[in-house]
Amino acid sequence: MTMNSLKIFNTLSRQKEDFIPLNKNSIGMYVCGPTVYDDPHIGNARPLIVFDLVYRILTKIFGKDKINYVRNVTDIDDKIIQRANELKIDISELTKNVGDIFLSDCKYLNCLSPNNQPKATENIPGMIKMIENLLNKKFAYLKDGNVYFDVNKFPNYGKLSNKNPKELISGSRVEISELKNNPLDFVLWKPSKEKEPSWDSPWGKGRPGWHIECSVMAEKYLGKEFDLHCGGLDLIFPHHENEIAQSICSNESNIFAKYWMHNGYVTVDGKKMSKSDGNFITINNLKNNFNGQIVRLSILGTHYRQPLDWNLKILETNKKILENWYSFYTPESEEINDEIFNILLEDLNTPKFITTIHSIYNKAKAGDDSAKKDLNSALRFLGLFCESERQFNSLKQKSDLDLSEIENLVQQRNLARKNKDFKQADKIRFDLENKGIVIEDLNNNTTWKHK
């Protein structure tokens, strides 16, 4: 069996295509990274893990030294300014803290480090240069210190989303402003308000729009045209659509990225995640109770383009599965064999890959030695089996209660608090504490951990 070629679903063409790099000796991959304003949540974990796997696949096919993997950090943004004001801390303190949590989350989820992790605030001169270029070429216009991109000048606008301008406007994520010629026009530079971070520019003190940073950082590290751009489905419009418009107009190139991959949405217990609904799961929350490999397997169990509904049951099921698989863990492992690897080459068919691992495990249980080897190599390729069995099990229950019992009691307590039955709420808290579980209430959100 030989290695097949990689096929991926390209959002731009809306079909599965063979991945043929522009230059197989120098492959560029750009992933839109986090906006560092709040603890990363389970919705952020999905692109991290999915595109980490894409990176691992490209590395295996083309060689690690041939891939330049860039993931940016958005460290200037309205949300950051707002959050820093709420917390009454300096913006740089907030972005440093959240950036550190993000990196520790990446480690917890066993994601490999990108080659470059540029920060927006370290690339402001490049952004000013690209904006000047767009103004000179009349793709942008200046109004009251704001610079806007003129969408009408780019005929292919809407190609990635496969929508015409009318449909895009009714999509409602368009900022309304009297300063704009067209509702779809988007900001490249805007004046900063008092006490907001600002940089000198030819248009006065201000700060860049969000989209321009990715265009500039992608070009800086990967050139005007590169192979693969990735992100969550919610970034297609307006973020990625705008990146394409800016880059192609500024660079006078035919393409920006050749292939676009987008992962699907994440819901929690069937609902959109929101802090007010109390179903907001940060990656940090999970660290206390689950090994990161369980989270990783739980995310990869659903195909990356499908919606993923997150719940405690998925975690518990995958915890048991990994515990079973770990009984065949060996410290050394061979390369994954091509027949198994080929499954991933079909647009990252992780569900089929995991089903295959289950049948390999069954063969290993029946005493098949080569199956034991395959199990180790396949799981390692997925970014699992990265710790010894002892390390993996070190988070095993320190409490007599199982997870669903704990969750059940926490919910009963939340209900009691909602009904202002504080006596009952305190009783549940006390009972849990006696069983080794500590409850924490923060910003309308209740979390728990082992003592």
Among the residue ranges 28-36, 107-115, 128-136, 329-337, the one whose residues contact Zn ion (CB under 5 A): 28-36
Cα 84 off chain centre by: 22
Nearer to Zn ion, 45 or 216 (CB): 216
d(CA 93, CA 85): 12
Per-residue interface string for the shown chain with Zn ion, residues 158-197, x marking contact by CB under 5 A: ----------------------------------------
Nearer to Zn ion, 51 or 361 (CB): 51
Q: How far is the CB of 247 from Zn ion (least distance, A)?
A: 11
Size of the site for Zn ion (CB under 5 A): 2
Closest CA relative to residue 329, chosen from 393, 424, 401: 393
Q: How far is the CB of 120 from Zn ion (least distance, A)?
A: 10
Closest CA relative to residue 346, chosen from 19, 24, 2: 19
Contact call for residues 86 and 78 (beta carbons, < 8 A): no
Contact between 214 and Zn ion per CB under 5 A: yes
At residue 55's C-alpha, the angle toward residues 49 and 61, to 5°, is: 140
Q: How far is the CB of 239 from Zn ion (least distance, A)?
A: 6
Among the residue ranges 16-24, 131-139, 211-219, 427-435, the one whose residues contact Zn ion (CB under 5 A): 211-219
d(CA 391, CA 328): 14
Question: What is the helix (H) or strand (E) element at residue 413, kind and residue range?
Answer: helix 403-418
Contact between 127 and Zn ion per CB under 5 A: no
Contact call for residues 84 and 38 (beta carbons, < 8 A): no
Among the residue ranges 8-16, 56-64, 207-215, 265-273, the one whose residues contact Zn ion (CB under 5 A): 207-215
Q: How far is the CB of 246 from Zn ion (least distance, A)?
A: 11
The size of the chain, in residues, is: 451
Q: How far is the CB of 162 from Zn ion (least distance, A)?
A: 19
How far are the Cα atoms of 180, 210, 238, 403, 418 from residue 163, in angstroms, in the given order?
A: 21, 22, 11, 45, 44
Contact between 124 and Zn ion per CB under 5 A: no
d(CA 281, CA 41): 6
Closest CA relative to residue 350, chosen from 383, 376, 317, 372: 383
Q: How far is the CB of 238 from Zn ion (least distance, A)?
A: 11
Nearer to Zn ion, 262 or 373 (CB): 262
How far are the Cα atoms of 3, 63, 347 from residue 338, in angstroms, in the given order?
A: 5, 16, 16
> Within positions 29 to 48, which residues make up the interface with Zn ion, using CB under 5 A?
32
Q: How far is the CB of 209 from Zn ion (least distance, A)?
A: 11
Residue 185, judged by CB atoms within 10 A of its CB (0-12, 13-18, 19+), counts as buried
Q: How far is the CB of 438 from Zn ion (least distance, A)?
A: 38
Sequence-ordered list of residues with C-beta below 8 angstroms from that of 369, at least 6 positions apart, any chain: none
Q: How far is the CB of 210 from Zn ion (least distance, A)?
A: 8
Sequence-ordered list of residues with C-beta below 8 angstroms from that of 382, at least 6 positions apart, any chain: 53, 296, 297, 300, 350, 353
Q: How many CB atoms lie within 10 A of CB 405?
A: 14
Q: How far is the CB of 379 from Zn ion (least distance, A)?
A: 32
Nearer to Zn ion, 212 or 409 (CB): 212
At residue 99's C-alpha, the angle toward residues 215 and 39, to 5°, is: 110
Question: What is the helix (H) or strand (E) element at residue 30, kind and residue range?
Answer: strand 27-31
Q: How far is the CB of 350 from Zn ion (least distance, A)?
A: 24
Nearer to Zn ion, 185 or 243 (CB): 243
Contact footprint for Zn ion (CB under 5 A): 32, 214
